[in-house]
A = this chain, B = another copy of it.
Amino acid sequence: MNLRWDDLKLFLAVHEQGSLSGAARLLKLGQPTLSRRIAELEAMVGEALFERQSQGAILTAAGQKLLPAAQSMAEWANEAELNVKKQTYLPEGKVRIAAPPGIAYEVVAPLAAKIRRKHPQIQIEVLSGVETLNLGRGEADLSLRTQKPNDVDLVCIDDVSSAMRVYTSKAYAAQLPPHPGLADLDWICWAAPYAELRTNQELSALIPNFKAAFTSDDYIVQVAACKAGVGAMILPQVLHHYAGLRELHGLHELDIDLGPDAVGSLYLVCHKRHRYLPKVQLVMDYISREFDSLRQDA
């Protein structure tokens, strides 16, 4: 006959909740689905298991007889879940996170330190770069991306948006004319292989005959140049607020409007196969909490 085991689960839920609707809510199923599934189970069994009333559903005699087996299955299913939880309760192992260089340095690295203090059994490997790694192939477990993924196998767990702002050293800002425009600034930009990054492209779009005054492929070098007064760079505002004790400390935010579209987003992405791995979940939770604090600082 081959009763579907999940149907027995639904059957038990209906009994415990006292109604098909209640069971549907508990199991996060549609009420039509619950109704149909129970009807199919009854068809397979050959007689009614519930007597439907407007107040709910009551077990028939046949349903009463099925109940002990369903309850025992539920007990063993719970054992299975506890078993699995015990086995995987302590997340451990390496989690590889891919992130753009600035994010890698300012957000992920300090976060890794924080996670490691609490969870020494977790190793974090940060892949700093801008290539879209193949999460499905295991090239990274998690990815922080500035573009929303459109691959159906990828899940966007969380995201944070931020205004993009212009930052310089105080000394550099002091020697600017009043109300400077974008073209009045010397720009610090990304060198190859990062030349195609969005900030570079936006500056090219906004400034006629745009030429970067300084370029580097190393984020830290760019920040050092900015602090040394070489020029200006575009950064997410939340990074400036967030990294109070980090490299961005001491940079001055210019009061220059980059336009309504000057908003950057950061997406926490993973492959759906990895989503429930305990070690990945642990790190995702930490990143989400950082996103929470980023949102509150903004």
Interface on A for B, CB 8 Å cutoff? Answer: 1-6, 8-9, 39, 43-47, 62, 65-66, 68-70, 72-73, 76-77, 79-81, 83-85, 87-89, 272-278
Closest to A72 in B: B76
Q: Taking each of A76, A85, A273, which has the highest tally of chain B beta carbons within 10 Å of its own beta carbon?
A: A76
Say which residue of B1, B77, B88 sits within 8 Å of A84 (CB atoms). B1
A5 & B3 in contact (Cβ 8 Å cutoff): no
Complex contacts, A272 vs chain B, CB 8 Å: 43
Q: What 6 pairs between A and B have smallest CB-CB spacing?
A: A5-B5, A69-B80, A72-B76, A46-B88, A69-B79, A73-B76
B43 & A65 in contact (Cβ 8 Å cutoff): no
Q: A2-B81, A70-B80, A72-B76 are in contact. List 13 more A-B contacts (CB 8 A).
A: A1-B84, A5-B8, A6-B6, A45-B84, A45-B88, A46-B276, A46-B277, A62-B87, A62-B88, A65-B83, A66-B83, A73-B73, A76-B76
Count of identical protomers in the assembly? 2
**Bound Cα distance A80, B3 (Å):** 8
Distance between A134 CB and nearest chain B CB, rounded to angstroms:
17
Say which residue of B39, B77, B277 sits within 8 Å of A8 (CB atoms). B77
Interface of A is mostly: helix
Given known pairs A5-B6, A5-B73, A76-B76, the reply for A84 and B46 (CB within 8 Å) is: yes
**Bound Cα distance A273, B45 (Å):** 11
Q: Taking each of A46, A77, A81, which has the highest tally of chain B beta carbons within 10 Å of its own beta carbon?
A: A46
